[in-house]
Amino acid sequence: IIKNLETRDKFLRRQMTIIEGDLYNASKLRESQFNLKRYPFIKEVKITSKEGGAYNKMILNVEIEEQERSGTISVGLALSTVENFSFMAQVQQTNLFGYGWTINFRALLGSRSKIFNINFIDPYFLDTDFSLSLQAFNEEVEYRDFTPTRRGGRVYLGYPIYKNLYRLNFGYNFESVVISNVAQAQKSLIKGGLTNSVTTGIYRDTRDRFGYFETREGSLTYLSGEFAGGPILRGDNSFGKLTFEHRKFVPVFN
């Protein structure tokens, strides 16, 4: 593996489905190239071969061209009849320390909204095949009849069950909602409280690039179930929720 300046070899080798000593396999080479190019901080991947130390051996060179920058800072100002004036800022790094870690912080401040959200993703938690996702949020939005303040976090673990296309996810969600400024007519309809829930789901991801703005083709499909409250999780709210979603990405222009 050559020409990778920021991304560590350890992370790149995990994307390879063909390893030293394997029989030559063109399908595995194409799959390895596909896995590498899915990450937004990888611009191009070129795999070439040359003669090895014996007549029946070859050396594979995996040439990595990285994006010039793997981090972004976004700042925005908006005027509207609802918020009047609002300010938005987002900082994202998709290849933190060369390990493929993603960290994203987003803030939105307006006359009626105060939203803070931070998310961290480790695709290979503690050098295992498990992925780890952590999220914390603090949101306050002032509506006409009430003002909810939401605080909480989420912890998710994922595990591949077939290549890098199918994954199982397990998660725990914690959310505290405090309702204030409730109109008299809405008091019996609006409820806050503490919610503890667990989520499990299966994902199928064939996107050519991770990240919705970078994706050109492929699909993302998942089926998940969320269960809250009850005698084990407790809290103020109990429910069960089943979610199915399918997204298909089609290139519009060449």
Cα–Cα distance between 87 and 72 in angstroms, integer?
A: 17
pLDDT digits (tens, 9 = 90+) for 19-78: 888 999 999 999 999 999 999 899 999 999 988 888 899 999 999 999 888 888 999 998
Mean pLDDT of the chain: 91
Residue 143 is predicted with a pLDDT of 86
* pLDDT score of 83 more than 80: no
pLDDT band with cut points at 50, 70 and 90 for residue 92: very high
Flag whether pLDDT at 254 surpasses 80: no
Give the model's pLDDT for residue 163: 83
Q: Mean pLDDT over residues 91-97, rounded?
A: 92
Average pLDDT over residues 189-209: 92
Q: d(Cα 80, Cα 86) in Å, to the nearest integer?
A: 8
Q: Are 158 and 166 in contact (CB under 8 A)?
A: no
pLDDT band at 1 (very low <50, low <70, confident <90, very high): very high
Q: What is the mean pLDDT of residues 14-23?
A: 90
Position 8 scores a pLDDT of 94
User: Which is more confidently placed, 184 or 95?
Assistant: 95
Type of residue at 104: N
